[in-house]
Amino acid sequence: MDIKEFFEINNKAAIAFSGGVDSVFLLHAACEAGADVTAYYVKSQFQPEFEFNDAKELAGKIGAKMRILEVDALADPRVRANPKNRCYYCKQHIMGAIIEAAREDGYGFICDGTNASDDADDRPGYKALQEFGIRSPLRECGLTKAKIRVLSREAGLPTWNKPAYACLATRVPAGEEITNAKLEITEKAEGELFRMGFTDFRARMRGDAALLQFRADQHEEAVSRLDEIRSAIGGLYSDVRIDDLTR
């Protein structure tokens, strides 16, 4: 079954929407198939403001309805404690909010953008999706991340080459409590790095210091501009270092 056939059969759907490559293509495919669909975006401390703004703009370009749900990600103490399976509890929290809102709007069929490249055995959040009965059309139709990028480019979607962006909580080491202050520092630091022209990186917290990780194609530039980077974000951390790719 291809994705068009999927939404011709399941023609009334709520979509968990992040504004990333996968969920944007999923929303586009549902609309192209003529499905009655609404995108549900969960706005929390774990998503930076630019992701929220991108999601609104993209849903508008696709021509889809979008409902914004305000959720306090740290209200659940299990999420705040940041265990290794934090994503499981977080996904429960987020999908619970989406399910409640979708049912209010008359949607019983709810899906997300998990694709065929995602390793379900290594994704605690996927377990929560299964428990809630959330469907993953991209995965069910055998669409890998690479294929989704190709199809997105063919469809003229601006996300076809958008770098993957994990939520801000991933910058805090597992087992270390997540706080609003840590998330705010991370968002400010990464915002500065974006403004400096870097596009695919992570500002990991190591105590009060930052360990910056860049893709190989931007690593050398980052090293050469370390003084500039420290000038831009050094006030947020006790120290700023760049991860060594040779390790």
How confident is the model over 192-247, as pLDDT tens digits?
999 999 998 999 999 999 999 999 999 999 999 999 999 999 999 999 999 987 54
Q: pLDDT at position 129, please? A: 86
Q: What is the full DSSP assignment across 145-192?
A: HHHHHHHHHHTT-GGGGPPP---GGGGSPTTSPP-HHHHHHHHHHHHH
- pLDDT tens digits for 188-200? 999 999 999 999 8
Per-residue pLDDT at 82 exceeds 70: yes
Q: Which helix (H) or strand (E) holds 68?
A: strand 65-70
Helix axes 145-154 and 21-32, enclosed angle (nearest 10): 50
Question: Average of pLDDT values for 139-146?
Answer: 96
Give the pLDDT band (50/70/90) at residue 46.
very high
Task: Report d(CA 222, CA 224) in Å as an integer.
Answer: 5
